[in-house]
Amino acid sequence: MQVGIIACSSSTIPPLKPRRTATFISSKHLPFLGRRKLCCDVVSRLPVPPPTPRDNNDEDNISRICKQDFAQENLPLTTRRTLFARLLMSTRIMDVRLLIAYALGDPSVTIEQVTPSVFSAGTLFPSEERIVKLFEKNTYSVVNIFDVTLRPQLNITGAVEVPEGNGSGVVWDEQGHIVTNYHVIGNSLSRNPSSGQIVARVNVVASEGVQKNFEGKLVGADRTNDLAVLKVEASKELLRPIKVGPSSSLKVGQQCLAIGNPFGFDHTLTVGVISGLNRDINSQTGVTIGGGIQTDAAINPGNSGGPLLDSKGNLIGINTAIFTQTGTSAGVGFAIPSSTVVKIVPQLIQFGKVVRAGINIEIALDLIANQLNVRNGALILQVPKNSLAAKAGLVPTTRGFAGNIVLGDIILAVDDKPVRNRAELFKALDEYNVGDKVLLKIQRGNENLELPIMLFT
């Protein structure tokens, strides 16, 4: 067997160049070298150890040698930018390989389609469930009220009903009585309608969620307390009276709910807390209502006449006003307390007006009382002759022989309720009924007296 030797001539293959060895880097050149080149030059001068012989039969030896080789291996210089580029390149290469394998029908390569997990909404929190149930229970007791006014037209149709405003109301009983604010139907009431006259359109929600429209006939109204009662001719199955709760036991901070029709959006729910109690409400009727409930539940135009509910779903007030400079909710709303509502509404249903218990005397206006140096209490100006007030011994204000003014009795309290001015006297008397006996604490000159008297109309 002949062995041939092929010689490589220098004319065909260029001679190998000697490997470039690292030169020593002088410190004077360091400022002119880039950080990357400097590191590469330093790494190139590191010695490469010879490979360690391995025993393939000894597993412990293999593990030890691999660790040593890995530690002694001369790793190339890397930066964050280089690592990111290599990772991106390897990812793209793997994607291309997978696509080619999938296109050629390689059975060893499968592409799994991952469907994202969709989680169900699940059940509500207990507090949310309670609010939802309260709304669903009481929403049928809230109605939408449109104030209407009869206006003459220039055609043969005569008078037509023209919407003037809108608000809310609550179903009071199964007889069809609807309670709302006086100012909600104020445009119609300004025409002095008689009892039984149509003053509003009332939308009542049926069980299937459809609103049914009815004529709202006037039953009674009280401007002083900003309350009015309408009546609709609807079946008992459609009417769901609201449950009235006490307002005297309310606490600041407890939760409350308001349902109404703000800006015409029917049956809107807002949630808040009781922010204050015994507030004086400057109602849209121009009078001040005492004992008001303050809440931060959003109350907007259209909420007037709607219910304010406690956490049990009981009526604790009738929403009536908001404190705002923009005309929309500013987090300060007011409601007439249910203690006032349960006293006024039965009188409106029975008499068409509020029959107030009084003393049948004339009380001086605050301006006049201040001019007469009466700073505390309600000054009596006149007492009718032969009246119960005269028989009880009340003394009016008179003029002396010299023309000087002799002050009459000044009422300081009704029972244990202090009276600082004329308005507080009427407010105190509103808590009594005709025929009740009260004890008046009065100031006559320099002495204080107590006089019992029976209240009448």
What would the mean pLDDT of 259-269 be, rounded to a whole number?
87
* Confidence (pLDDT) at 121: 61
First to last CA, the chain: 147
Residues in the chain, overall count? 457
Better-predicted residue by pLDDT, 301 or 251 = 251
**DSSP letters of 109-139?**
---PPPPPP-----PPPHHHHHHHHHHHHHG
Residues of the chain above pLDDT 70, percent: 67
Q: Which residue is listed with tokens 């509020």?
A: 354
What would the mean pLDDT of 208-215 be, rounded to a whole number?
87
Better-predicted residue by pLDDT, 456 or 38 = 456
pLDDT digits (tens, 9 = 90+) for 127-160: 899 999 999 999 999 999 988 764 434 444 443 3
What CATH code is assigned to 362-454?
Answer: 2.30.42.10
Architecture of the CATH domain 139-351: Beta Barrel (2.40)
* Whether pLDDT at 80 is above 70: no
Q: In the structure, what pLDDT confidence band is assigned to residue 358 with cuts at 50, 70 and 90?
A: confident
| Encoded tokens for 71 | 């530690």
* Whether pLDDT at 234 is above 80: yes
Residue 422 CA from chain centroid, whole number: 37
* Whether pLDDT at 163 is above 50: no
Better-predicted residue by pLDDT, 26 or 421 = 421
Mean pLDDT is lowest, of 75-84, 124-133, 204-213, for 75-84
pTM recorded for the entire structure: 0.62
Q: What is the chain's mean pLDDT, rounded?
A: 79
- One-letter amino acid of 148: V
Are 395 and 362 within 8 A, CB to CB?
no
* Confidence (pLDDT) at 91: 60
Q: In the structure, what pLDDT confidence band is assigned to residue 296 with cuts at 50, 70 and 90?
A: very high
* Sequence spans of domains, the chain: 139-351, 362-454
Active site members: 183, 226, 304
What would the mean pLDDT of 335-351 be, rounded to a whole number?
94
What would the mean pLDDT of 102-123 be, rounded to a whole number?
61
